[in-house]
Structure 1
């Protein structure tokens, strides 16, 4: 299936895209418009009070971004009219039934839509449990219910994450659907309704015992964040994001027997490899936290196996595989899952990430206060938790206890220093809690379906010249990290730092 055939699948199609303001959503919208300007209509569901506000948000947060420069160059003075013709922003939210749309709008869309791409998600690892449940779990349920109303729907494509299968398992994780109630711990059964009831009970208890409305909101936020992480760990998932995304897949499996469904599960998504240009990214994603911390010298250590493997995949490869999958299965009454991953074919060792980050920061040091360059120290990597714990006790816990006592004796003279050290300690411990499961990940994602999909393209290994390249074998991780990804991450980080100075 050559690139022309893949692109042609989108000609005269009407597509509903959720999360078009997100990283992958923007990439997908740009790619469809660039390779197939004959697409009939892209309805972009965005959170906004009305369609006019949705239109403004799309102009500012989607088509107004640097990502669309290539498309602007292609269409020149006709760019605005092209966008107006092809894109129709719709105010709505997947957390509501019928996606928060008026019945007349539901009727209109249900008669027009050929494809639904659901990528809306809360991706914060430490999000409030109630918020993550509403979007990642119940939001997916609402999308399924909406899809069943679409008379001409030929495909529901759902963007998930490969880590929905993870726990402490080792070996090959299959490209299979998660059954309702299934968890990484074989002796645990997940009851989603019970989890929703638990959230309701905790919030009611907090409200009943709070003194003021402000204190109630603060307590509720903290409690919901802690509850999400606690419940995720209890059932065997590393964080609330993948935990609730797994729930979303459970709804997909139980509600879409009669719908053509494709689930795309990317691993850790990084900046673009090639298209529309290398190094486009937004925000700080997963291990980018360590890159930024390294650059600012705010993260002196981390817990990770230097010889362990990080499964990462550039954002444009995720979009390319998504579009090829849509073309391959358009109209099929099948349910198929693709692990869009790299480690099974071209793994990224942890030490390459650390070495590349150090090398880049050494050669391109950040300019600190008074225009002096920052001297970068190597990141300490502890391959066992007891070593990391000992470092934190000696470097932070004991000094904190000593500072606390001295502070009492001297009337709070060292309060500022104590508070800073305490914030640093809590931050490093939270980092370890959230990211260590990925740094010590022992399993590998089966990508059999993805390889089969690649073979249908007829492109050779490496995908040189292919419009929809998603072959991870073409990535030289050292070159990509040093020349593309790390500069892209630090460009954003340093710009934000300079803006706050």
Structure 2
């Protein structure tokens, strides 16, 4: 009988149906085994039930040919009569049907370097939970376990199919893996470790406030724990003779099934590197990037100058549809309960692909079909010299050291678009080096282990198919040519998504999302550096020096220059310290006189320093019906010219003494860092606003808490720390340029303003263009009517 007849009437449970292999397997079961009943285990996720996820699964491109052949009615009938969806996962197995005939276990942790406890929980713990559920159901199915050829571990030469030779105890290793999490967590909570996390967080985020520092310190601690567990898993695997935690845990899962399956028939299928389909569901079909695709794409982009592999080493790749065909054939060939069957699905023994040949095929393809770079045009194919692992490692370390030193240097550079561009370039280099480091570390063991997997049993299984099945379900790796597969099928498929004109803006220039929302939406703006190209020191100069004599200005500027280093240090520690330090210089000032100076001089400078893009954005929010808020550390009186643009202005208020003059102190603590987020949360509750749909615009790291408090944060002309957080978080980053010919920082004196006004009137009387007529307050008033709703 053929495979469809041998599997007719069988009830087959498939785990991992939403994964790469599981999806391809499910497509073949539905398409080519019409009399086989399929039971799928699918975990509810993100508010979607398992049934909803399954419906979405069979609507994907892999099932298009089947859907077209059977029609909508046939799809509904098949899902109703032939498919049972069980909601659950390998941590919490549901009750299984008692009449299961075959269990095909495709699910598992596929990352090469998971934290050791995660790797064991998924790859071994999942098998244990599955076997428990099978026992509880009373069924006696044929177990088909999908493992990997690389369970063979670190060795050289030919590797035959069969039971692995080792004496490693899965019980001892699983218990140690479970303890590793507790050990790492305890180590991360020692005083020295916590102090280190806090100091690192403070060095980077102290200006954003204590809550941000605490959040960052905890993030670093958790990252340290995960990295420690990844290292433990990798090192433990290598000590015991495996390439990584993935192959280590897969090998122990095999040993568990061999020893604990209670006499159930067992087949272990070990595919090598699974890549895109040769023919089914269609040529080139692939879900996500697997093992070889990142290297192929990086080579095409000119980002992979060499690779630490031996040119005559074998890279064992097998198309996914050949793997699926072999799984179906193995499922139909139930072995004796006492003797497990082992099949290695590979190409290296009978159709070997050398690293040198892979390189040549990939290079030839990109020479004919180069990728197009935004800045470089067609990317030239790189010549690999196969310089060896030591040389590649040395180059990589030099690059990593350079990016580390350059990153530190940029941290001290003044804010500018040029510095941000340098940071973008450095970030791209760092990402490239991180990519190379990751794949250097992951592939090192695989390229050093010069293995040839022997597939004698798999070949015999293929030869045992009847001629019709050999055509439909064949899995002979010698049936295709590598140049044809790579250049005509695989590489075109994996590069299709990055072909064509690059119309996407880079993250640093990404357009802000549409201004959605309604009356419950806030649009919160910072002032200095965001709306206006100014600082608290500059705004102090506008007010303090407006009516002073030349000599008095000189003395004030000299005193300010002496205090400036202290201000810089205060700014690096806490923006609130800077505001308090600068505003002590207002001691003795007359509040009414400050208001007059704003109307006559400082307000004029402020309005001419406002960025046109900022005004447009504020007005867009007002037109959208949003509530606009100005949240600033500037003195309250200085915000008067901007009052028509905002529904709410929160600024720094200067304390006034009994004599009616400023004391140099503040009415309340300045709203900076965490305080801004706290105020915003309280304000939103008071006015009934929804922060999850609200907007925030700011330029400084100290504004991080405010930006994180809203659903739509936008970094505007950001300083380097905020720029890096925005890039990492995927926030829009916008450049709002200043107006050309901005006025100087020191306001004109009263005599200069009077002379300017007289000259303007004279030009008007003579019929000239009336330039700059009116006082600063007149000019301030001219923006008000247009700013109203």
TM-score range for the pair, normalised by the shorter chain length: 0.7 to 0.9
Between the two proteins, the alignment pairs up a number of residues equal to 477
Q: Aligned match of 2:144 in 148, 157, 169?
A: 157
Q: CA deviation at 1:67?
A: 0.8
The answer on 1:84 being equivalent to 2:80 is yes
1:61-100 to 2 correspondence within 5 Å? Answer: 62-78=57-73, 79-96=75-92, 99=93
| 3-state SS of 1:232 partner | helix
- Residue equivalent to 2:441: 433
**Residue 387 in structure 1 maps to residue 391 in structure 2:** yes
Give the match for residue 17 of structure 1. 14
Among 152, 158, 164, the alignment partner of 1:172 is: 158
Distance 1:15 1:500 in 2: 48
Query: Does structure 1 residue 250 correspond to structure 2 residue 259?
Result: no
CA distance in 1, matches of 2:188, 2:132: 33
What is the rounded CA distance, in whole Å, between the counterparts of 1:33 and 1:456 in structure 2?
A: 23
1:342-362 superposed Cα distances (whole Å, 9 cap, x missing partner): 111110111222122222222
- 8 Å Cα contact 1:164/1:237 also seen in 2: yes
Query: Which residue of the other structure, out of 449, 453, 458, is the alignment partner of 2:457?
Result: 449
Cα displacement string for residues 341-397 of structure 1 (whole angstroms, at most 9, x for unaligned residues): 111111011122212222222222223327x74322315353522221333355x25
TM-score, normalised relative to structure 1: 0.86
CA distance in structure 2 between the aligned counterparts of 1:10 and 1:305, rounded to whole angstroms:
44
Task: Find the structure with the greater CA-based Rg.
Answer: 2
What secondary structure is seen at the aligned counterpart in 2 of 1:382? coil
Conserved in 2, the CA contact under 8 Å of 1:42 and 1:86?
A: yes
Match of 1:196 in 2: 178
Contact 1:115 1:156 in 2 (8 A): yes
Q: Write the deviation string for residues 14-61 of structure 1: whole angstroms up to 9, x where unpaired.
A: 11110000111011111111112111x31211121699710111122x
Describe the superposition over 1:245-301 as per-residue Cα deviations: whole angstroms up to 9, x where unpaired. Answer: 112112112211511010100000011112232111111111111011112323222
Match of 1:233 in 2: 238
- Closer, same or farther in 2 for the Cα pair 1:262/1:135, shift >3 Å? same
Show structure 1 runs of 5+ residues with no match: none
Q: 1:347 aligns with which of 338, 352, 355?
A: 352
Bigger mean CA offset, 435-444 vs 313-322: 435-444
| Secondary structure of the structure 2 residue equivalent to 1:262 | strand
In the superposition, relative to structure 1, how do residues 320 and 404 fare at CA in structure 2: closer, same or farther (>3 Å)? closer
C-alpha displacement at 1:476, in angstroms?
0.4
Comparing 290-299 with 338-347, greater Cα deviation is found at 290-299
Q: How far apart are the structure 1 equivalents of 2:432 and 2:327?
A: 40
Contact 2:346/2:453 (CA < 8 Å) preserved in 1?
A: yes
Q: For 2:504 and 2:11, locate their aligned partners in 1 and report how far apart those are by CA, in whole Å.
A: 41
Q: Which residue number in structure 2 is paired with residue 287 of structure 1? A: 292
Shift of 1:157: 0.5
Instruction: State the distance in 2 between where 1:484 and 1:418 align.
Output: 35
TM-score normalised by structure 2 residue count: 0.56
The answer to whether the 8 Å contact 2:312/2:355 transfers is: yes
For residues 22 and 69 of structure 1, the distance between their equivalents in structure 2, rounded to whole angstroms, comes to 17
Q: Deviations over 1:205-232 (max 9, x none)?
A: 3356656554443333333333322322
Who is 1:375 aligned against?
379
Q: Residue 32 of structure 2 aligns with which residue?
A: 35
Contact persistence 1:51–1:89 (CA under 8 A): no
Equivalent residue, structure 2, for 1:361: 366
The residue aligned with 1:5 is: 2
Partner-residue secondary structure (3-state), 2:311 = coil
TM-superposed deviation, 1:486:
0.9
Counterpart of 2:483?
478
CA distance in 1, matches of 2:446, 2:316: 9
Larger deviation: 464-473 or 399-408?
399-408
For 1:182 and 1:52, the matched residues in 2 are separated by: 40
Ranked by relative contact order (alpha carbons within 8 Å, sequence separation 6 or more), the top structure is: 1
Residue 197 of structure 2 is aligned to residue 182 of structure 1? no
Q: Is the 8 A contact 2:13 2:102 kept in 1?
A: yes
Deviation at 1:311, TM superposition (A): 0.9
Question: In 1, are the aligned partners of 2:263 and 2:337 still within 8 Å (CA)?
Answer: no
- Following the alignment from structure 1 to structure 2, what is the Cα–Cα distance between the partners of residues 11 and 50? 36
**Matching residue within 38, 54, 61 for 1:58:** 54
State how far apart, in whole Å, the 2-side matches of 1:140 and 1:495 are. Answer: 44
1:271-350 to structure 2, matched below 5 A, reads 271-329=276-334, 334-350=339-355
Structure 2 distance, partners of 1:152, 1:500, is: 56
1:116 & 1:445 partners in 2: Cα distance? Answer: 26
**Are 1:302 and 1:379, in contact at CA under 8 Å, matched by a contact in 2?**
no
Deviation per CA, 1:320-351, whole angstroms, max 9, x where unpaired? 11111111217755311111111111101112
Q: Distance in 1 between matches of 2:245 and 2:8?
A: 38
Instruction: Return the match for 2:188 from 206, 229, 241.
Output: 206
Q: Is the 8 A contact 1:171 1:442 kept in 2?
A: yes
Whether the 8 Å contact between 1:305 and 1:381 is mirrored in structure 2 is no
Inter-CA distance 190–314: structure 2 relative to 1 (3 Å threshold): farther
Change (3 A) 1:148 1:55: same
Give the distance between the partners of 1:204 and 1:182, measured in 2 at CA. 27
From the superposition, tell whether residues 301 and 287 of structure 1 become closer, same or farther in structure 2 (CA, over 3 Å): same
Give the SS at the match of 1:37.
Answer: coil
Query: Residue 313 of structure 2 contacts residue 355 of structure 2 at CA under 8 Å; is this kept in 1?
Result: yes
1:87 CA drift (Å): 2.0
